[in-house]
Amino acid sequence: MSRQLFGTDGIRGVAGEPPMDERTAHALGVALGTWAQQQSISPVSQGPAEVLIGMDTRESGPWLAAQVAGGLARTGVSARFAGVITTPGVAYLTRTGPFVAGVMISASHNPYHDNGLKVISHSGYKLADEVELELEALINEWLQGGEPAISRPLPVDTSLDNVYTDYLANTVRGAFPLHLVIDCANGSATEVAPRLFERLGAKVDWICTSPDGRNINLQCGSLYLDALQRRVVDTGADLGVAFDGDADRALFVSSTGKIVDGDAVLFLAASTLKNSGKLVGDLVVATVMSNLGFEKALESRGIHLVRTPVGDKYVLEEMLKRGAVLGGEQSGHVIFCEYATTGDGLLTALRVLETVRDSGRSLDDWSDEVKTFPQKLVNVRVKNKRPLSELASVQAEIRAAEREFAGSGRVVVRFSGTEPLARVMIEAGTHEEVDRWTGRIADAIRAELGAAG
């Protein structure tokens, strides 16, 4: 049986509409409370089961939190409310505190009118698929009962944010005598980042730190780097950092205004870990979308790249399978297993700053070692999806491209998991090659599957 409510990152939707409405949020609380009563997480946990709730800055966050808490209360499970906090902050507190589970209310980099309910287990990882199926059954059972959804507003426990900030600060040796520009995306980082970076001695110019419930990710943060680039260059800062709405990812801007993506950050981090003898197996896990130039740069350092399908879920699964300590995505979602169970933008920023400070090399110097190959992604709208292995002409074009590239280029063809699209990604030595082969493969797909209107 497949899940209907839970996707790869919890339950998502438009706030106020199913499944992100009051009754479904309440039903999740009931379901989670019922499940929580059956768990035993720690011998130090006394009294009733307890669940942690956190949120980003969307205007729908408080009422969703109150409904989840109301559902939990029906089952005798108590809730503690961290208020505005990052998703990795909820994961850390859930893992290290007396909580059966944590609920993060966020839609990450989406606009304010969307929201989501992400459930994290006491291990700090997302729930297993079979547990989410169990919760879905309990949610549907309660919804069919017709009982009213009674909210339970909660006071914010400000000590929880401080525990997480203290943990992050304690992963750093010394201070950061650097001039930074930091974009908090009017999101979760707004609460945590100022306390963290200012106590570490950095001079910081802050932008997008005035959330109003509707401006989260609005032309700011990791998806919109123009303003950050301008500010870094205009102020002569050492570098810039941009978080997304729930701060589980970070992208960077060098002192010259160059965008430094997750591939370059992974290269920097992997090189640093290898030099200190901490890069287990001399390997890094990333997705099929990571640039070939990144892979070549790792090879020059004696580091092996393992690729997974797109999605941090798959990166983490492969990391755990192989015992890898570092993995991530171009988007800036980087996982340091020594410190966290999920991607953490704040933690990533600390590791990057530490390397820049200790190496005596600028972010430009580090990122220049990753010679990015020209890359192009074409989306082909199709009438139906058949296994790519059955499309003879498409396979012929892919093989022809790979023969021509002879290891100096890459071809990635896959179907979207949510839309009627085939995605064709080509990397090669020149833009001309990229354009020619994306066009040929896209045309073959249209001929085989028909172009949707």
pLDDT at position 174 is: 92
pLDDT at position 40 is: 60
Q: Compute φ and ψ for 373, nearest 5 degrees.
A: -80, 145
| Identity of residue 384 | N
| pLDDT per position as a tens digit, 274-325 | 999 999 999 999 999 899 999 999 999 999 999 998 888 899 999 999 999 9
pLDDT at position 43 is: 40
pLDDT at position 325 is: 98
Among this protein's residues, is 60 annotated catalytic?
no
Report d(CA 272, CA 270) in Å as an integer. Answer: 5
Length of the chain (residues):
453
| pLDDT per position as a tens digit, 208-238 | 999 999 999 999 999 999 999 999 999 999 9
| Identity of residue 261 | D
- How does residue 417 score in pLDDT terms, banded at 50, 70 and 90? confident
pLDDT at position 205 is: 97
pLDDT at position 41 is: 56
pLDDT at position 4 is: 84
Over residues 177-197, the mean pLDDT reads: 96
C-alpha distances in Å from residue 370, one per residue of 41, 264, 342: 44, 6, 25
Tokens 């997974």 found at:
308
Has residue 133 got a pLDDT over 90? yes
Tokens 């950092």 found at:
241
Q: Tell me the two tokens of residue 417.
A: 């998991």
Has residue 240 got a pLDDT over 90? yes
Has residue 192 got a pLDDT over 80? yes
Q: How many CB atoms lie within 10 A of CB 216?
A: 32
| pLDDT per position as a tens digit, 245-257 | 999 999 999 999 9
Q: How many CB atoms lie within 10 A of CB 187?
A: 32
Q: Which helix (H) or strand (E) holds 295?
A: helix 292-300
pLDDT at position 278 is: 97
Q: Which one of the listed residues 2, 60, 78, 108 is annotated catalytic?
A: 108
Over residues 373-378, the mean pLDDT reads: 93
Q: Tell me the two tokens of residue 86.
A: 């990052």
pLDDT at position 313 is: 87
| pLDDT per position as a tens digit, 54-84 | 999 999 999 999 999 999 999 999 999 999 9
pLDDT at position 9 is: 82
> Beta strands of 124-229 (E only): which ranges?
179-183, 203-207
List the one residue out of 327, 393, 61 whose CA is nearest residue 213: 61
Has residue 195 got a pLDDT over 50? yes
Cβ distance 346 to 352 under 8 Å?
A: no
| pLDDT per position as a tens digit, 11-61 | 999 999 999 999 999 999 999 999 998 886 544 456 678 999 999 999 999
Q: Which residues, including other chains, have CB under 8 Å from residue 419's CB and lie 6 or more apart?
A: none
- How does residue 7 score in pLDDT terms, banded at 50, 70 and 90? confident
List the one residue out of 260, 317, 258, 259 whose CA is nearest residue 287: 317
Cβ distance 58 to 106 under 8 Å?
A: yes
pLDDT at position 419 is: 80
pLDDT at position 1 is: 56
